[in-house]
Amino acid sequence: MAGNDEVWRWDDSQAVEYTGADAQEHADRNLMAWTGAASPEEAAAMLLGRPGMTEQREESQR
């Protein structure tokens, strides 16, 4: 695979600061967009990988 020669530079004039509930809402929207999930909880489950041992799951097909 060929390398990408594009250089990205931080631009302070484009930075936006989020705090509190606004920060959480922004993060949730981004996670849902990046994963294609319908909810923040579904996005987190996709990113964290394996389900917890207490989570009810269907039996795997063999």
Coil, strand or helix at 10: coil
The pLDDT value recorded for residue 58 is: 79
The pLDDT value recorded for residue 34 is: 93
Confidence (pTM): 0.55
Q: What does the pLDDT look like over 20-43, one tens digit per residue?
A: 999 999 999 999 999 999 999 999
Q: What does the pLDDT look like over 42-53, one tens digit per residue?
A: 998 888 877 677
Asked if residue 37 lies in contact with residue 48, where contact means CB atoms within 8 angstroms, the answer is no
Radius of gyration of the chain (CA): 18
